[in-house]
Amino acid sequence: MANSRNLKNRSKPRSPIILISLSVAAITFLFILHSSSSPLDFSFSSPKALKNLLRDRRQMQSLDKYLYWGDRIDCPGKHCDSCEGLGHQESSLRCALEEALFLQRTFVMPSRMCINPIHNKKGILHQSDNASFEERWAANSCSMDSLYDLDLMSNTVPVILDNSKMWYHVLLTSMKLGNRGVAHVEGVDRVDLKESNVYSNLLLINRTASPLSWFMECKDRNNRSAITLPYSFLPLMAAKTLRDVADQVKGLLGDYDAIHVRRGDKIKTRKDRFGLYRTLHPHLDRDTRPEFILLRIKKWIPPGRTLFIASNERTPGFFSPLSVRYNIHNEWREAIWHRVWSLSTLGARPIYPYSPRIDPHSSSIGIRAKDRLPGSLPRFENQH
């Protein structure tokens, strides 16, 4: 009996250890079971699930203050009834993004961008003649996330779309906060918006009171030292589908040099107040003719190179004289525009990983050759 009592006494201290071990094992099992059924599961069934998770996490970790300029680029304001060219709209959008970056706020991006008819020559974006303005605008616009890679853009400037659940949540929160939630500002310098406690602690800054184009808020936009985001920022943020198209176009072109020649709209003559026909750039027509182009580019581009010319010149064979020194291929137009370009971009927006700018201090703004940059696409700047 004594021996059995001793054995019982010795076995009692072990029971708490066993219970603790069983409890830990049960908790571990429940944790694993919960993790496997959780929406934040790390065993993703598809790349789309991973992308959605990363987007949700980025939004959760994004800046907790927001900047809103309007539901359309340059709108509200006097430009709501028009659709400017892509160069104009990108200047406005870049200005708004720069302010969001400066204020360290998340930018509320319009969910759609209108496409000027000049970019829709092939009629791929259709509209009805009997449609209202709102219906025509919707028919001649593209979703912003089909044009830009918003996840890639958010690595530099956090952005959300104005049709997202996050934006609706921000609006509801701002209404609950009352005066501490939102400020409607007009004519306030961005430095004051950042440093003044009246604005800096608010959840939302609403910029829709200004009737001007967005880029007018960037007063020093001609001062390159004041530019936070380079001109190439938005082109480099193109959606992956469009970047793939650009790669295909570059593959068709091979090793080449490119120049941009803007003529069409710039050489038009208009009547002045005295009734005389004049042009804003008197020497442009002369300086952009093939014989003058040869003189301008010969020190940059050696003979025998393949030359790609981006231009809004409509005269067939206008640049053919350049073939005495360079390889000019007319069949590129069919290969590029029909095989790749129009099928993948809806004929609406040229995509370019490089955006050449014309020197504003040059006596002739007709042409600027790129110094042997093979593999880069030119930008068609036939509108502003």
Over residues 321-377, the pLDDT tens digits come to 999 999 876 545 555 555 444 444 433 333 333 333 333 333 333 333 333 333 333
* CA proximity to 259, closest of 374, 336, 116: 374
- Report the chain's mean pLDDT, rounded to a whole number: 70
Give pLDDT tens digits for 29-67.
Answer: 444 434 333 333 333 344 454 455 445 445 444 458 999
pLDDT of residue 9: 46
Range with top average pLDDT, 81-95, 224-238, 241-255, 269-283: 81-95
3-state SS assignment for residue 161: strand
Determine the distance from the C-alpha atom of residue 241 to the mean position of all C-alpha atoms in its chain, rounded to a whole number. Answer: 13
If you search the block for the tokens 């067939």, which residue do you land on? 316
pLDDT of residue 65: 93
How far apart are the C-alpha atoms of 54 and 48, rounded to whole Å? 10
Ordered strands of the 204-206 beta sheet: 159-161, 106-109, 66-68, 204-206, 182-184
CA geometry: angle 16, 18, 21, nearest 5 deg: 110
209 vs 102, 186, 197, 206, 231, CA distance in Å? 20, 6, 20, 8, 26
Tokens of 339: 């095989």
Which residue has better confidence, 18 or 368? 18
The HSE-up count of residue 237 (CA atoms within 13 Å, CB side) is 25
3-state SS assignment for residue 381: coil
How far apart are the C-alpha atoms of 379 and 373, rounded to whole Å? 14
Which residue has better confidence, 103 or 138? 103
pLDDT of residue 96: 93
Tokens of 180: 């501490």
